[in-house]
Amino acid sequence: MQQGLPAPSFCEVVSCAILPEGIVSQAACRSFRRFEAKLAHSARPGATRWRRLTGVSKGVFTVAQTKSTSATAAQPSYIPTREELVLEARKLVPVLRERAQASDELRTLPDETVADLKAAGIHKIFTPKRYGGFEMDWGAHVDVSRELGRGCGSTSWVASVVMSHTWILGRFPARAQEEFWPDTPDAIIATAFAGGGTMEPVDGGFVL
């Protein structure tokens, strides 16, 4: 019998998803491993809700703590309010309704919709300010997603997912963030989670 194959780890999946061509330095991978270990440790019974969700303390990577990073100059001169971003999402509702059928038929968001979301700054809700983002809270994420959903449910779902994945990268160690954001401050991030376990090849398929 062949030995079971280990499922890919969280850091292996994320590093392949967010870094160009899946390339990640040894230093960044060590940072990902430490973050992964924190996630596992913080999932123990009795851990606070925040630590179960993030594995780190809230606000650990603040602008003040990283003011000497190479991307500090990218901080925008104007940060919109939650209400202003919701208004930007509201302005998109009519055109999102017009494109909803096309989104279903394409099974992806039209390029025009992606461009509109980026022009509105919606993808930067969770991006740290030091990298040119807005560094907002989950309330802004929920309000904007709800508003987009009035125009197109698919657009709302996709926007919500990529916003939350930006939030995940914002919880990574500063060294890992520095390998990604300075060169791609306007990026839209999509990643995946991989649970623990093994996969064993058997006749006709695999046993998980």
| Sign of the dihedral through C-alpha 156, 161, 162, 167 | positive
Predicted local distance difference test score (pLDDT) of residue 195: 66
pLDDT above 50 for 92: yes
Q: Could you tell me the pTM of the whole model?
A: 0.60
Range of the domain at 146: 5-57+67-202
Domain with 23 in it: what CATH number?
A: 1.10.540.10
Q: Does residue 184 fall inside a structural domain?
A: yes
pLDDT above 90 for 190: no
Q: Does residue 79 fall inside a structural domain?
A: yes
Q: Does residue 120 fall inside a structural domain?
A: yes
Q: Does residue 151 fall inside a structural domain?
A: yes
Q: Does residue 62 fall inside a structural domain?
A: no
Q: Does residue 208 fall inside a structural domain?
A: no
Euclidean distance between CA atoms 145 and 178, whole angstroms: 28
Predicted local distance difference test score (pLDDT) of residue 204: 87
Distance of CA 69 to the CA centre of its chain: 21
Angle at 176 between CA 175 and CA 179, to 5 degrees: 95
Better-predicted residue by pLDDT, 25 or 186: 186
Domain count, the chain: 1
Euclidean distance between CA atoms 71 and 114, whole angstroms: 25
